[in-house]
């Protein structure tokens, strides 16, 4: 992937975090340098998202210390719908809100959930639309592979 594409991905990502409803401070952005980022787009009405959230929680707990950051970007137009979903699942990973879909548009989200795995250098290495519990081991392997890279 070209250097311009890498910069574009991280720039779009940083802009989105900076403009999110839950403000991201410089520590939030600086903390992503050198980390593997699992960027997940979701909505409260998404049935597969009900399965992906517990899995993302396990991944966050298992791999955060090795350099994984999970950021879940909600696309609901009504914030209350997202908040009700979050009260049920109680994630401890980062949540951002994109009710206008600007970040989703930049990342060409075509279905729910859409997940993008970004390596330590800011390169999007894997994109997945949907979530199937049967594929959890494959998803975890991709994370582990990127965590092993320097």
pLDDT digits (tens, 9 = 90+) for 130-146: 999 999 999 999 999 99
Q: Which two tokens stand for residue 114?
A: 């859409």
CATH number of 2-148: 3.40.30.10
Highest mean pLDDT among 22-26, 65-69, 118-122: 65-69
The mean pLDDT value of the chain amounts to: 84
Name every residue whose Cβ is closer than 8 Å to that of residue 129 and which is 6 or more positions away in sequence: 110, 111, 113, 114
3-state secondary structure of 68: strand
pLDDT at residue 87, rounded to an integer: 97
pLDDT higher than 70, residue 110: yes
């Amino acid at each position: 992937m070209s250097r311009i594409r890498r910069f574009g991905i991280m720039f779009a990502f940083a802009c989105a975090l900076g403009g999110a409803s839950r403000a991201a401070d410089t520590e939030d952005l600086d903390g992503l340098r050198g980390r593997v980022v699992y960027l997940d787009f979701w909505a409260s009405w998404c049935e597969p998202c009900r399965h992906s959230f517990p899995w993302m929680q396990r991944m966050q707990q298992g791999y955060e210390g090795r350099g994984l950051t999970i950021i879940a970007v909600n696309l609901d137009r009504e914030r209350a719908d997202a908040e009700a979903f979050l009260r049920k699942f109680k994630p401890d990973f980062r949540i951002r809100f994109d009710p206008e879909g600007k970040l989703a548009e930049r990342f060409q989200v075509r279905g729910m959930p859409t997940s993008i795995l970004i390596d330590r250098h800011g390169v999007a290495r894997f994109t997945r639309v949907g979530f199937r519990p049967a594929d959890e081991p494959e998803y975890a392997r991709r994370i582990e592979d990127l965590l092993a890279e320097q």
